[in-house]
Amino acid sequence: MADFMGMMKKAAELQSKMKAMQDELDHIEVEGGSGGGLVSVRMTAKGEVNSVKVDPSLAKADEIEILEDLLVTAMNDARRKAESAMQEKMQALTGGLGLPPGLGLG
């Protein structure tokens, strides 16, 4: 029984460390670009898109802000769908392991 308690303690410690890392990733921001600087995207390390900038030469000037907002929304929607698909796969993978609820693995 002592081994089981030790394993549960280590699992709780791991979960706490993973939560702290996930929280930290929310505050790290990166920027990617394409087209020699014509398009740039700022996002968190967790994949949440914060902003998109499109050079006015690529679209009508009065529609750039709408295009940028639509791109942010579309990218975040795709990221959420990817996360959901990944969670479904993880649950299918770990479903038969009998892991205690709340381990944060699925």
**Tens digit of pLDDT for each residue in 77-104?**
999 998 888 888 888 777 756 555 555 5
Confidence of residue 106 (pLDDT cuts 50, 70, 90): very low
Domain 2-96 has CATH 3.40.50: no
**Per-residue pLDDT averaged across 24-34, rounded?**
88
- Region 8-21: mean pLDDT is 86
Report yes or no: 52 and 33 within 8 Å, Cβ to Cβ: no
Range 11-37 average pLDDT: 87
Distances (CA, A) of 62 to 41, 45, 72: 20, 31, 18
The string of DSSP codes covering the chain is -HHHHHHHHHHHHHHHHHHHHHHHHTT-EEEEEEGGGTEEEEEETTS-EEEEEE-GGGS-GGGHHHHHHHHHHHHHHHHHHHHHHHHHHHHHHHGGGTPPTTSS--
Q: How many residues comprise the chain?
A: 106
